Amino acid sequence: SAVISQKPSRDICQRGTSLTIQCQVDSQVTMMFWYRQQPGQSLTLIATANQGSEATYESGFVIDKFPISRPNLTFSTLTVSNMSPEDSSIYLCSVAQELNSPLHFGNGTRLTVT
Amino acid sequence: QKEVEQDPGPLSVPEGAIVSLNCTYSNSAFQYFMWYRQYSRKGPELLMYTYSSGNKEDGRFTAQVDKSSKYISLFIRDSQPSDSATYLCAIGQGAQKLVFGQGTRLTINP
Protein backbone atom coordinates (compact mmCIF):
# COMPACT_ATOMS: atom_id res chain seq x y z
CA SER A 1 0.00 0.00 0.00
CA ALA A 2 1.02 3.64 -0.41
CA VAL A 3 3.34 5.29 2.09
CA ILE A 4 1.67 8.37 3.55
CA SER A 5 3.73 11.09 5.22
CA GLN A 6 2.16 13.83 7.30
CA LYS A 7 3.88 16.96 8.54
CA PRO A 8 4.05 18.18 11.22
CA SER A 9 3.58 15.14 13.43
CA ARG A 10 2.59 17.38 16.31
CA ASP A 11 2.27 21.06 17.15
CA ILE A 12 1.21 23.34 19.94
CA CYS A 13 -0.45 26.51 18.71
CA GLN A 14 -1.91 29.68 20.16
CA ARG A 15 -5.62 30.32 19.81
CA GLY A 16 -6.49 32.56 16.88
CA THR A 17 -3.64 31.32 14.71
CA SER A 18 -3.73 28.89 11.77
CA LEU A 19 -1.83 25.68 11.05
CA THR A 20 -1.34 23.98 7.70
CA ILE A 21 -0.87 20.22 7.69
CA GLN A 22 0.74 18.52 4.72
CA CYS A 23 0.06 15.04 3.38
CA GLN A 24 2.45 13.49 0.86
CA VAL A 25 1.90 10.08 -0.74
CA ASP A 26 4.65 8.11 -2.46
CA SER A 27 2.41 7.11 -5.37
CA GLN A 28 -0.53 8.58 -7.24
CA VAL A 29 -3.87 7.95 -5.56
CA THR A 30 -7.36 8.66 -6.75
CA MET A 31 -8.94 9.59 -3.44
CA MET A 32 -7.62 11.66 -0.55
CA PHE A 33 -9.51 12.49 2.62
CA TRP A 34 -9.02 14.36 5.86
CA TYR A 35 -10.29 12.98 9.18
CA ARG A 36 -10.37 14.24 12.73
CA GLN A 37 -9.93 11.98 15.75
CA GLN A 38 -10.84 13.62 19.02
CA PRO A 39 -9.76 12.04 22.33
CA GLY A 40 -11.91 9.02 23.16
CA GLN A 41 -14.01 9.45 20.03
CA SER A 42 -14.27 7.80 16.67
CA LEU A 43 -12.84 9.15 13.45
CA THR A 44 -14.90 11.83 11.76
CA LEU A 45 -14.57 12.67 8.09
CA ILE A 46 -13.89 16.36 7.53
CA ALA A 47 -13.75 16.45 3.74
CA THR A 48 -12.76 14.79 0.50
CA ALA A 49 -9.82 16.53 -1.16
CA ASN A 50 -10.55 16.81 -4.88
CA GLN A 51 -7.72 17.32 -7.30
CA GLY A 52 -7.98 20.61 -9.10
CA SER A 53 -11.30 21.63 -7.57
CA GLU A 54 -12.86 22.61 -4.28
CA ALA A 55 -12.98 20.02 -1.54
CA THR A 56 -16.26 18.35 -0.59
CA TYR A 57 -17.05 19.01 3.05
CA GLU A 58 -19.10 16.88 5.42
CA SER A 59 -21.89 18.28 7.54
CA GLY A 60 -20.51 20.44 10.32
CA PHE A 61 -17.29 21.37 8.52
CA VAL A 62 -16.83 24.49 6.38
CA ILE A 63 -14.23 25.71 3.96
CA ASP A 64 -13.51 28.92 5.86
CA LYS A 65 -12.47 26.93 8.93
CA PHE A 66 -10.76 24.01 7.15
CA PRO A 67 -9.48 25.09 3.73
CA ILE A 68 -8.05 22.19 1.77
CA SER A 69 -5.84 22.08 -1.28
CA ARG A 70 -4.99 19.19 -3.59
CA PRO A 71 -2.81 20.37 -6.44
CA ASN A 72 -1.95 16.88 -7.74
CA LEU A 73 -2.50 13.15 -7.17
CA THR A 74 0.13 12.80 -4.44
CA PHE A 75 -0.22 15.86 -2.22
CA SER A 76 -2.83 17.65 -0.12
CA THR A 77 -2.93 20.23 2.65
CA LEU A 78 -5.44 20.92 5.39
CA THR A 79 -5.42 24.26 7.18
CA VAL A 80 -7.04 24.66 10.57
CA SER A 81 -7.92 28.36 10.72
CA ASN A 82 -8.51 30.72 13.62
CA MET A 83 -7.90 27.92 16.08
CA SER A 84 -9.58 27.51 19.44
CA PRO A 85 -8.92 24.90 22.15
CA GLU A 86 -11.86 22.87 20.75
CA ASP A 87 -9.74 22.24 17.65
CA SER A 88 -7.25 20.23 19.72
CA SER A 89 -7.35 16.84 18.08
CA ILE A 90 -5.50 14.42 15.84
CA TYR A 91 -5.88 15.20 12.15
CA LEU A 92 -5.42 12.27 9.78
CA CYS A 93 -4.83 12.12 6.07
CA SER A 94 -6.19 9.03 4.34
CA VAL A 95 -5.96 7.77 0.78
CA ALA A 96 -7.49 5.15 -1.49
CA GLN A 97 -5.86 3.97 -4.68
CA GLU A 98 -9.18 3.96 -6.52
CA LEU A 99 -12.91 4.10 -5.96
CA ASN A 100 -14.05 1.46 -3.48
CA SER A 101 -10.57 0.33 -2.56
CA PRO A 102 -9.93 0.47 1.19
CA LEU A 103 -8.64 3.51 3.02
CA HIS A 104 -5.09 3.80 4.32
CA PHE A 105 -4.05 6.37 6.87
CA GLY A 106 -1.05 8.49 7.70
CA ASN A 107 0.23 8.69 11.27
CA GLY A 108 -1.64 11.92 11.92
CA THR A 109 -0.88 15.37 13.25
CA ARG A 110 -1.46 15.82 16.96
CA LEU A 111 -2.61 19.41 17.47
CA THR A 112 -2.89 21.16 20.81
CA VAL A 113 -4.37 24.67 20.93
CA THR A 114 -3.67 26.76 24.02
CA GLN B 1 -28.93 5.49 18.03
CA LYS B 2 -25.45 5.71 16.55
CA GLU B 3 -24.96 4.22 13.11
CA VAL B 4 -22.09 2.09 14.39
CA GLU B 5 -21.74 0.98 18.01
CA GLN B 6 -18.56 -0.47 19.43
CA ASP B 7 -17.81 -1.26 23.05
CA PRO B 8 -14.86 0.99 23.96
CA GLY B 9 -13.54 -1.43 26.56
CA PRO B 10 -10.89 -1.44 27.82
CA LEU B 11 -10.45 -5.18 27.34
CA SER B 12 -7.59 -6.99 29.05
CA VAL B 13 -6.82 -10.68 28.43
CA PRO B 14 -3.88 -13.04 29.07
CA GLU B 15 -1.46 -13.95 26.31
CA GLY B 16 -2.70 -16.87 24.22
CA ALA B 17 -6.39 -16.15 24.79
CA ILE B 18 -8.94 -15.86 22.01
CA VAL B 19 -10.18 -12.30 21.70
CA SER B 20 -13.56 -11.34 20.32
CA LEU B 21 -14.24 -7.77 19.25
CA ASN B 22 -17.64 -6.71 18.02
CA CYS B 23 -19.63 -3.92 16.39
CA THR B 24 -23.27 -3.45 15.61
CA TYR B 25 -24.69 -1.17 12.94
CA SER B 26 -28.07 0.17 12.00
CA ASN B 27 -28.02 0.76 8.23
CA SER B 28 -28.92 -2.36 6.27
CA ALA B 29 -27.47 -0.76 3.11
CA PHE B 30 -23.92 -1.03 4.46
CA GLN B 31 -21.83 -3.39 2.34
CA TYR B 32 -18.22 -2.68 3.32
CA PHE B 33 -16.85 -3.90 6.63
CA MET B 34 -13.35 -3.04 7.81
CA TRP B 35 -11.24 -3.56 10.88
CA TYR B 36 -8.38 -1.22 11.63
CA ARG B 37 -5.70 -1.55 14.29
CA GLN B 38 -4.26 1.59 15.83
CA TYR B 39 -1.15 1.61 17.97
CA SER B 40 -0.53 4.51 20.31
CA ARG B 41 0.56 7.65 18.43
CA LYS B 42 0.13 5.97 15.07
CA GLY B 43 -2.53 6.12 12.36
CA PRO B 44 -5.09 3.34 11.87
CA GLU B 45 -3.73 0.36 9.95
CA LEU B 46 -6.07 -1.73 7.80
CA LEU B 47 -6.31 -5.21 9.26
CA MET B 48 -9.27 -6.89 7.55
CA TYR B 49 -11.59 -5.89 4.73
CA THR B 50 -14.82 -7.66 3.81
CA TYR B 51 -17.33 -6.81 1.14
CA SER B 52 -20.92 -7.96 1.64
CA SER B 53 -21.16 -10.92 3.98
CA GLY B 54 -19.32 -13.99 5.21
CA ASN B 55 -16.07 -14.78 6.93
CA LYS B 56 -12.52 -13.89 6.11
CA GLU B 57 -9.41 -15.35 7.67
CA ASP B 58 -5.86 -14.01 7.68
CA GLY B 59 -3.42 -15.82 9.92
CA ARG B 60 -4.56 -15.45 13.52
CA PHE B 61 -7.32 -13.01 12.57
CA THR B 62 -10.87 -13.88 11.46
CA ALA B 63 -13.51 -11.35 10.48
CA GLN B 64 -17.18 -12.31 10.45
CA VAL B 65 -20.16 -10.43 9.11
CA ASP B 66 -23.75 -11.27 10.01
CA LYS B 67 -25.89 -8.95 7.94
CA SER B 68 -29.17 -10.39 9.23
CA SER B 69 -28.21 -9.29 12.75
CA LYS B 70 -26.23 -6.22 11.62
CA TYR B 71 -23.30 -7.48 13.63
CA ILE B 72 -19.62 -7.88 12.81
CA SER B 73 -16.85 -9.54 14.75
CA LEU B 74 -13.09 -9.79 14.75
CA PHE B 75 -11.49 -12.80 16.39
CA ILE B 76 -7.84 -12.93 17.35
CA ARG B 77 -6.46 -16.39 18.09
CA ASP B 78 -3.35 -17.06 20.17
CA SER B 79 -3.22 -13.40 21.16
CA GLN B 80 0.21 -11.82 21.61
CA PRO B 81 1.36 -8.76 23.59
CA SER B 82 2.06 -7.13 20.21
CA ASP B 83 -1.69 -7.27 19.53
CA SER B 84 -2.22 -4.68 22.27
CA ALA B 85 -3.77 -1.72 20.45
CA THR B 86 -7.07 0.00 19.78
CA TYR B 87 -9.24 -1.82 17.25
CA LEU B 88 -11.65 0.20 15.16
CA CYS B 89 -14.48 -1.16 13.10
CA ALA B 90 -15.50 0.86 10.05
CA ILE B 91 -18.63 0.19 8.06
CA GLY B 92 -20.19 1.85 5.05
CA GLN B 93 -22.03 1.75 1.76
CA GLY B 94 -18.78 2.46 0.00
CA ALA B 95 -15.23 1.56 0.96
CA GLN B 96 -14.43 5.21 1.49
CA LYS B 97 -17.69 6.56 2.95
CA LEU B 98 -17.18 4.79 6.26
CA VAL B 99 -18.66 5.25 9.69
CA PHE B 100 -16.14 4.37 12.37
CA GLY B 101 -16.82 2.79 15.72
CA GLN B 102 -15.39 4.36 18.83
CA GLY B 103 -12.62 1.78 19.04
CA THR B 104 -11.93 -0.95 21.60
CA ARG B 105 -8.72 -0.65 23.57
CA LEU B 106 -7.19 -4.12 23.93
CA THR B 107 -4.34 -5.15 26.21
CA ILE B 108 -2.72 -8.60 26.02
CA ASN B 109 -0.93 -9.41 29.26
CA PRO B 110 2.21 -11.60 29.07
Q: What are the tens digits of pLDDT across the range B27-57?
A: 999 999 999 999 999 999 999 999 888 899 9
Residue A29 predicted with pLDDT over 80: yes
Q: Which residues of chain A are within 8 Å of residue B94 when distances are taken between CB atoms?
A: 99-100
Kindly report the backbone phi and psi dihedral angles of residue B83, in degrees, each rounded to the nearest multiple of 5, phi listed first: -80, -5
What's the CA gap between A20 and B106, in Å, rounded?
33
What's the CA gap between B30 and B100, in Å, rounded?
12
Question: Would you list the DSSP string of A21-74?
Answer: EEEEESS--SEEEEEEE-TTS-EEEEEEEPTTS--EEPTT--TTTS-EEEEETT
Q: If you average pLDDT over every residue of chain A, what do you get?
A: 95
Residue A59: pLDDT band (50, 70, 90) is: very high
Average pLDDT rounded to a whole number, residues A91-111: 94
Q: With an 8 Å Cβ cutoff, are B4 and A42 in contact?
A: yes
Closest residue of B to A41, CA-based? B102
- How many residues in total does chain B contain? 110
How far does A14 lie from chain B, in Å, by closest CA?
22
CB contact A105 to B (< 8 Å)? yes
pLDDT for the residue B9: 83
In the predicted model, residues of chain B with pLDDT beneath 50 are none
Q: Which residues of chain A are within 8 Å of residue B34 when distances are taken between CB atoms?
A: 102-103
Please say whether the dihedral angle defined by the alpha carbons of residues B78, B79, B83 and B89, taken in this order, is positive or negative.
positive
What's the CA gap between B101 and B80, in Å, rounded?
23
- Tell me if B50 sits within 8 A of B65, measured CB to CB: yes
